[in-house]
Amino acid sequence: MYIYETLRRKENQPFVRWNQRKTFRVDGRTDFTNQSCSTWRIICFKTPKPTPTALCWSVNCHTGPEAVLGAHHNQVTKRRRKERSSCQLVLERFDQQYSQELGDLWSSARAVLLDPHSWQYGVMLNRFTTVTGITQTLQSQGFSTLLPCAAVSKYQAGSLLPPDYISKCPPNDSLLQPDSTSHELCQDFQSEPSLSLPRPTLQCYIHPYPLRFPSQAHRPGQLKQYYLLNAASLLPVLALQVRDGEKVLDLCSAPGGKALAITQCATPALLCCNEPDPHRRDWLAKTLESFLPQSLISRVIVSAQDGRSFGQSEAGTYDKVLVDAPCSNDRSWLYSCSSQQGEQRLKERAKLPALQAQLLRSALSAVRPGGAVVYSTCTLSSSENCAVVETVLNDCPEADPEDLWEEIAIPLAKYFTFSPAHPGHGQTPHKPSLQPQNGTLSPYRHRLGILVVPQPGKTWGPMFLSRIRRRK
Ligand SMILES: C[S@@+](CC[C@H](N)C(=O)[O-])C[C@H]1O[C@@H](n2cnc3c(N)ncnc32)[C@H](O)[C@@H]1O
């Protein structure tokens, strides 16, 4: 059990809990004995028996030196997270398939998926709110921004970032981004001078340890300041490269995390969020209402079509289309609540590639010539990933896959573990390469897509993404 906490310590006063948890570990970077320190970064960790003495140092392979605060700190009380057990049936199927497809990467990915306490969470800030306070809190707890400045300028409506924004950033690969731009207002679109929105800045904070920032409760009349997500979910949105004023379709939209990320990257002229499932559509609508101001909500449509027919009804309409397809969802399927549910899901799994291919074809019809479609899933399964892309490309001669390895995998390799696509989906076991090595990867293989594989210390993913451009 790894739970991370921050305790504040005032001079000559007892420890005050910032959040209600208990057995604590001191972050290796914090000098616990430094009396002048006003903020302690304390991390709760799994211990068979909390030590009753004040401090007990030990070493944890993930996180370094640890200290257990003993029971005599009466603010420190016990609470255990409910353990979830994995579904054996699903795990066996994953073992069979993924050891073939991922080789050595699977055993370490498996260890991460089976240890929910090691999972990391990203905190995506909402540019439509004041985020200075949250930013300070995050930074004081050891969070830093995910996207270095170079990546920010490249991916998110980069030409719109003012030169002083870039110059305010530290010159090298520093993770600290200035917060001030979140509050700068810009006039978007000369055609609608009345639309005054904060400048697009996708800011996602991550922590080196699996610290889960508390989710924000509903605040009547106020927008939420941040959204918690798997940081790998941002990659399909970055790959979409949405620019201000574009028409964007999010074909499979609920609960809306990627739709929100799109609105952080740019101000589209139209964002159509499609979700056929009524319950999930309500959830989507609530997400949008909780994060977007009225001036933007008027540009957002929630639609309820079967995504497979969208391409026919709105052919050639959109500049960009995101297909974040229904998929096996490895993380959640592994924790199916019963073996019956696991069995049922594995049966459904066989039908998914056909549905995914239909959705991708529909998206390629809905996008205008010259526009781009991003296809993504949150499974490691090659039959739902590159095999779907390959199938669709085979019967869409007017569609070209684009290389995301150079554009996304290499610049962001510090944060995510990438594996290139696996053509032949499982027929040929292959040893994945984390970095492209000259001569070992064909350009076509890059182009089918890239896969984020969860690994210890970089637990983001699974996430597959592929970008396909419709020829002019
Ligand atoms: C992976 S989830 C999307 C997650 C979402 N993009 C986000 O970031 O929050 C896939 C969604 O596709 C929806 N879906 C299932 N079948 C669909 C279909 N035929 N057309 C469009 N969406 C569909 C599911 O109800 C589900 O909400």
> Where does a domain end: 14, 46, 67?
67
C-alpha 279, offset from chain centre: 23
255 lines ligand 1 (CB under 6 A): yes
- Residue 379 forms part of a structural domain: yes
Query: What's the pLDDT at 130?
Result: 93
| pLDDT computed for residue 11 by the predictor | 33
Q: How far is the CA of 280 from the centre of ligand 1 (A)?
A: 9
DSSP secondary structure of 183-252: G-EEE--TT-TT-EEEPP---EEE-SS---PPPPPP-TTS--SEEEE-GGGHHHHHHHT--TT-EEEESS
CATH number at residue 355: 3.40.50.150
Q: Is the CB of 307 under 6 A from ligand 1?
A: yes
Residue 89 lies in a domain: no
The DSSP output letter for 18 is: S
Is the shortest distance between the CB of 469 and ligand 1 below 6 Å?
Answer: no
235 lines ligand 1 (CB under 6 A): no
Binding residues for S-adenosyl-L-methionine are: 252-258, 275, 306, 324
pLDDT at 148: 57
Q: 15 C-alpha to center of ligand 1: Å?
A: 45
Would you state the structure tokens that stand for residue 368, as one six-digit string?
């205008």
Q: 16, 47, 67: which is the final residue of a domain?
A: 67
Taking 50 as the pLDDT cut, the residues of the chain under it are: 1-81, 149-151, 157-191, 193-194, 424-442
* Pocket-testing residue among 124, 235, 275, 323, ligand 1, by greatest number of atoms within 8 A of Cβ: 275
Task: Let me know whether 54 and 106 are in one domain.
Answer: no
Q: What is the whole-number distance in angstroms between the Cα of residue 249 and the centre of ligand 1?
A: 13
Give the pair of three-digit tokens for residue 294.
Answer: 């009225």
Asked whether residue 13 is assigned to any structural domain, the reply reads: yes
SS3 395: coil
Closest Cα to atom 23, ligand 1: which residue?
A: 252
280 lines ligand 1 (CB under 6 A): yes
Is the ipTM beyond the 0.85 threshold? yes
Cβ of 253 less than 6 Å from ligand 1:
yes
DSSP assignment letter at 426: T
Same domain (yes/no): 26, 135: no
pLDDT for res 390: 95
Ligand 1: residue whose CA is nearest its atom 15: 326
- Closest-CA residue, ligand 1 atom 24, reads 326
Examine the domain organization and report whether 6 and 103 are in the same domain: no
* 74, part of any domain: no
Nearest to 275 by CA among 286, 264, 290, 267: 286
List, for residues 268-280, the tens digit of each pLDDT value. 999 999 999 999 9
Q: What is the pLDDT of residue 110?
A: 96
Pocket flag, ligand 1, residue 275 (CB < 6 Å):
yes
Cα-flanking dihedrals φ and ψ of residue 234, to 5°?
A: -75, -20
Q: Tell me how far the alpha carbon of residue 236 lies from the centroid of ligand 1, in angstroms.
A: 14
Q: Does 396 qualify as catalytic in the annotation?
A: no
> Is 79 a member of any domain?
no
Ligand 1 and 22: CB distance under 6 A: no
Indicate whether 39 and 117 sit together in one domain. Answer: no
Give the nearest ligand 1 atom to 250 CA. Answer: 6
Residues 38 and 151 in one domain: no
Q: How many domains does the structure of the chain reveal?
A: 2
Say yes or no: CB of residue 254 within 6 Å of ligand 1. Answer: yes
Range of the domain at 45: 2-67
Q: Whose CA is nearest to atom 10 of ligand 1?
A: 326
In a domain, 72, yes or no: no
Q: Do residue 39 and residue 170 come from a single domain?
A: no
* Residue 192 pLDDT: 53
DSSP per position, 291-342: HS-HHHHTTEEEE---HHHHHHHTTT-EEEEEEE-----HHHHTT-SSHHHH
Residues 175 and 43 in one domain: no
pLDDT of residue 212: 87
Q: What pLDDT was estimated at residue 1?
A: 26
Last residue of a domain, one of 16, 50, 67: 67
- Whether residue 276 has its Cβ less than 6 Å from ligand 1: yes
Residues 376 and 237 in one domain: yes
CA separation for the pair 456, 344 (Å, rounded) = 30
Residue nearest to atom 6 of ligand 1 (CA): 253
Helix (H, G, I), strand (E, B) or coil at 109: helix
Do 35 and 144 lie in one domain? The reply is no
**Ligand 1: which residue has its CA nearest to atom 25?**
277
365's tokens: 């019809």
Contacts 24+ apart (CB under 8 A), 423-431: 423/386, 423/390, 423/448, 425/101, 425/382, 425/383, 425/385, 425/386, 425/387, 426/97, 426/100, 426/101, 426/382, 426/383, 429/100, 429/101, 429/103, 430/101, 430/103, 431/103, 431/104
Ligand 1 atom nearest residue 284's Cα: 9
In a domain, 78, yes or no: no
Ligand 1 pocket test, candidate residues 251, 253, 279, most atoms within 8 A of CB: 253
On whether the CB atoms of residues 227 and 124 are closer than 8 A, the answer is yes
Q: Is the dihedral of CA 382, 62, 434, 393 positive or negative?
A: positive
Distance 59 CA to ligand 1 centre (A): 43
Of 327, 378, 386, 396, which residue is the catalytic one?
378
Domain match, 165 and 58 both: no
Residue with tokens 């066996």: 92
Looking at residue 412, what is its pLDDT?
95
User: Based on the domain organization, do 371 and 438 belong to the same domain?
Assistant: yes
What's the rounded Cα separation, in Å, for the pair 241 and 155? 6
Query: Cα separation of 163 and 141, whole Å?
Result: 30
Tell which one of 252, 305, 328 to mutate to probe ligand 1, the residue whose CB is within 8 A of the most ligand atoms. 252
197 domain-assigned: yes
Residues 372 and 444 in one domain: yes
What pLDDT, on a 0 to 100 scale, did the predictor assign at position 269? 97
